[in-house]
Every structure is written in C-alpha cells, then in structure tokens.
Amino acid sequence: MNKLALESLTEQKESPEYLQISWAAAMTLGLIPGQFYRNTKLSCINTLLTYPSGCHATCAYCGLQKARDMEYSKKNFIRVEWPTVKLDDIIERTKEVGHAERLCISQITHPRSIRDTKYVLKRVIEELGDQLFVSILMNATGQTYEDIEDYKKLGADTLTVALDAATPEIFDKLRGRPMNSPHRWDTYWEVLEWCGEVMGDGYAGCHLIVGLG
C-alpha cells in the first residue's frame, strides 16, 4: 500500500477540515451521480459539522442521536445519507456551480462546534462571500452573546436557531430533561432573541418541524 493510500485510510475526517453535505448538494457539486426531477437546480449547499464522537445531544426525532445503536459515521441526519467531504473541495466545487445562491453551515452539539463554525465561516466568506449568501443554522446550547456578534463580524448573512419544537412542552419532552439532553427551551429562545438584536429584522430566524409532537 502506498503512502497516499495509507494516509487516506488513517486520516480523521472531522470538522473543521471536513463537513457533511446533503445528498442533493453532493449531486450539485458533481461528487455523486444523479439527476434532479425536470432538471431542477439546487440553489443552497447545505453543510453539517461532523466529529467521530458524534452529536452530544439526544433529541428523540434526530437520526444523529447517541441512542441509535450504530457507528456514528453510518448515521444519517434526516434519514438520507450525507457524504463527508473536504471543506476545500466544497469551496472549489461551489465556485464552479453557477446557480448556487446560498451555503448553510449547520451545527451539532459538540464542544468544538462553535469554534469550528467560526473557522468554516471565515473560510467560506473569504472564498465565496462575493458569490453567495452564507447562513448558519445553530444549536443554541453553549452560545454566548459574543458568539452571535462574532458570526456577524465574520460575515454571516443570516443566523437561524434550530428550535424545531413549537411549544415548551414538546421541546422538553423530545429535546430536554426526559431525553437526558442538554437543550433547554429558555436557552433557545434567549439565543433567538440575541440573533434578532444582532442581525436585525429579516436576518434572524428559526427552524420549526411541522407536526412534531
């Protein structure tokens, strides 16, 4: 086995040097074969931070939760495979895609997630900031007001909070104490309010899953 092949096998594929990307984004960037219905064009490159130890939360509905009995690298975010790709390759291939309008950086619950998001954001803005809109989908747990300010200073166009559950009761049941998870409803709403203050009207938001609970 040559040195290059050996390095490929032993290399740790984790953020910030690597990100997972949606299957549709991988098709758009020419990383996997495929064809969109009626030649539809995907305008957003969705990415997700990734680590060997996985997400440290246990949200009941998420494909990445720790309770799922399988190797983390084989788990899927939303029941569809998300390939792991070098950040450098994502950047270079996105430059070549003429119809890409947005790149989203999504976080998981991990001690390095906030720091690595800033690194990825800085790289993406430096390389692609003039070409497309950059958004962050954040895990609110562990964020500080200064982190929110940093995202804006580094060039994020919008900040969104992965609230998912629409009521305190559903949030707690599926994402909180009963699941032995670190997430708290009040924390998520506080961070969402910070995003509104820092980013301004129209540039902050949240994700909600219709029908959850």
Set out the domains of the chain in order of their start, with CATH numbers: 13-208 (3.20.20.70)
Identify the pLDDT of residue 9: 39
pTM, entire model: 0.89
Handedness of CA 70, 176, 196, 42 (dihedral sign): positive
The pLDDT, as a whole number, for residue 63 is: 79
Pairwise CA distance, residues 102 & 45, whole Å: 6
List the beta strands (DSSP E) in 74-167. 84-86, 102-106, 133-138, 158-164
pLDDT at 6: 34
H helix runs in 129-184, sequence order: 145-154, 168-175
Q: Which pLDDT does position 64 carry in this prediction?
A: 76
pLDDT in tens, the chain (213 residues): 444 333 343 457 999 999 999 999 999 999 999 999 999 999 999 999 999 988 999 999 887 765 555 554 555 555 678 999 999 999 999 999 989 999 999 999 999 999 999 999 999 999 999 999 999 999 999 999 999 999 999 999 999 999 999 999 999 999 999 999 999 999 999 999 999 999 999 999 999 999 998
User: In this structure, are residues 52 and 111 in contact, taking their beta carbons and an 8 Å threshold?
Assistant: no
How far is residue 179's CA from residue 172's CA, in Å, rounded to a whole number? Answer: 8
pLDDT score at 141: 98
Spatial distance between the Cα atoms of 126 and 43, rounded to a whole number of angstroms: 20
